[in-house]
Amino acid sequence: MQLTTRTVTAIGLVVVTAAALTACSGGSGSSSAPQAVSTGASVDLSGVCPATVVIQTDWNPESEHGHAYQLLGQDYTVDAGQKSVTSDLMAGGKPTGVKVEIRAGGPAIGFASVSSQMYQDKDITLGYVTTDEAVQNSEKLPTTAVFAENDISPQMIMWDSKTYPDVKTIKELGSALADDGGVVRYFGGSAYMDYLTGNDILPKSVVDGSYDGTPSKFVVAKGKDAQQGFATAEPYIYKNQVSAWGKDVSYQLVNDTGYPIYPEAMSVRSGDLEKLTPCLEKLVPVLQQADVDFFASPEATNEKIVDLVNQYNTGWVYDKDVAAFATEQMKKLKIATDGDNGYVGDMNDERMQKIIDIDTPIFAATGTAVKAGLTPADLYTNKFLDDSISLGF
């Protein structure tokens, strides 16, 4: 299961009770939406890339995946049953000679990990694999990341600022919760929580792995308890769309406690890296530029994302306001950034090694052995990146 599982059901509803919440929306078929106009040299991927480049995401469509959906043309075909969308793969507003198929993850694949899905279905060209998942599966399902569209994870712990006005960090929160008898609810089995408790950032006595993806328990606790979430979604949703809460939350990114995973890095099966190299040499710069284009003008692609959410009808609630908030938060919090090198998508050895060092004993304790002698070079490569392509912020 994805280690940073997102909210499954209706946190976007405006009414919350203590019962679990669900929501759905309908629609299927073909769609079109406004396409941001860009210009540039044509890119020809035919002959070197698969006729259809298949991208397996780890969740329902959302703005964090904006770079992928930026690849869609103005006319795209939706398979609501399979939770996928297909069109010409576009670069700078021009077709590249191949198709792109983007598949939803999470509920669409039974909450399986993207790594396992990639090995079950060899039609998948690229999958969203977070660093800790890559470490966990390095022995049996090895993947190599080729592009990190976001530099840090939006995973956070959030709490009520009025109940805990002096708390500024997750570590301070742990002490406050211990004193007050509160807990942090999270999806059980998440490696980041083992990191937080194993490094005395949160006492084990205050963590509760019973989070079910709804706001119910957080709201009923009236500020006593904290909860996992994503800085790109819950702060807006809880203030503006959960009427039983309707106020700000405070939070800290898990990244800022010293757990520097690359979230949802676009990855290939490690054994296919050599075979895919001619394709990746041309495709990865297209992915970089799509990321840049998305942030330069996100409205049309966010409209597509919301349309797909509605058509897939998985119970995931996501509207244009949350999409716009997510896009701005990614820039504000430097979730999307050029990093230290001045170009988008790169990864580095130091961060990869840190996650290897942190997660190897965590996974060993649960009976999952990582690859013997695992090194950062097993997990990623920057060789396909174009260092002239920059987000500029």
- DSSP string covering 269-286: EGGGHHHHHHHHHHHHHH
Q: What is the pLDDT of residue 6?
A: 54
Taking the C-alpha atoms of residue 180 and residue 163, their distance in angstroms, rounded to an integer, is: 10
For residue 356, give the nearest of 373, 338, 344, 339 by alpha carbon: 373
Average pLDDT over residues 92-111: 96
Q: In this predicted structure, what is the pLDDT of residue 11?
A: 42
pLDDT for residue 24:
32
Give Cβ neighbours of residue 331 (< 8 Å, ≥ 6 apart).
295, 393
More confident residue, 291 or 39: 291
| Contacts with 13 (C-beta within 8 Å, 6 or more apart), sequence order | 21, 23, 241, 242, 317
Contact (Cβ atoms closer than 8 angstroms) between residue 174 and residue 217: no
Q: Which CATH fold topology does 155-257 show?
A: D-Maltodextrin-Binding Protein; domain 2 (3.40.190)
d(CA 350, CA 354): 6
Phi, psi of 238, deg, nearest 5: -70, -30
Half-sphere exposure of 378 (CA within 13 A, CB side): 18
Distance of CA 68 to the CA centre of its chain: 12
Q: Does the pLDDT value for residue 362 go beyond 60?
A: yes
Distant-in-sequence, close-in-space partners of 393: CB < 8 Å, separation ≥ 6: 295, 331, 337, 338
State the pLDDT at residue 9. 42
Question: Once rounded to an integer, what is the mean pLDDT over residues 63-70?
Answer: 98
Q: What is the mean pLDDT of residues 281-298?
A: 98
Please report which helix (H) or strand (E) contains residue 251, including its range: strand 250-253
CATH number of the 30-151+262-318+334-378 domain: 3.40.190.10
Residue 63 pLDDT greater than 50, yes or no: yes
Same topology, domains 30-151+262-318+334-378 and 155-257? Answer is yes
Per this entry, what is the length of the chain?
393
Q: Is 189 helix (H, G, I), strand (E, B) or coil?
A: coil
Average pLDDT over residues 329-351: 95
300 closest CA partner among 102, 33, 21: 33
Which among 375, 221, 199 has a CA at the least distance from the CA of 208? 221
DSSP H helical ranges for 59-145: 66-69, 114-120, 131-136
Mean pLDDT for the stretch of residues 342-346: 95
Residue 16 has pLDDT above 50, yes or no: no
Q: Domain ranges in the chain? A: 30-151+262-318+334-378, 155-257
Strand partners, 54: 101
Q: What is the model's pLDDT at position 213?
A: 87
**Buried-exposed string 209-221: b where 16+ CB fall within 10 A, e elsewhere:** eebebbbbbbbeb
CA distance linking residue 138 with residue 267, whole number of Å: 13
**φ/ψ of residue 383, rounded to 5:** -70, -15
Q: What is the pLDDT of residues 151-207, one digit of tens each?
A: 999 999 999 999 999 999 999 999 999 999 999 999 998 999 999 999 999 999 999
Average pLDDT for residues 92-112, to the nearest whole number? 96
- In which order are the strands placed within the sheet that holds 250-253? 207-208, 184-185, 226-230, 155-159, 250-253
Q: Which of 244, 303, 169 shows the shortest CA–CA distance to 16?
A: 244
- pLDDT band of 341, cuts 50, 70, 90: confident
Amino acid at 97: G
pLDDT category of residue 34 using cuts at 50, 70 and 90: very low
Query: Of 138, 143, 140, which Cα lies nearest the Cα of 126?
Result: 143
Average pLDDT taken over every residue of the chain: 91
Quote the pTM value: 0.90
Can you tell me whether residue 45 is helix, strand or coil?
coil
**Token digits of residue 37:** 């106009």
Taking only the tens place, the pLDDT of each residue in 236-259 is 999 999 999 999 999 999 999 999
Burial of 163 (0-12, 13-18, 19+ CB in 10 A): middle
- DSSP 3-state assignment of 91? strand
Mean pLDDT check: name the lowest of 40-49, 158-167, 379-388: 40-49
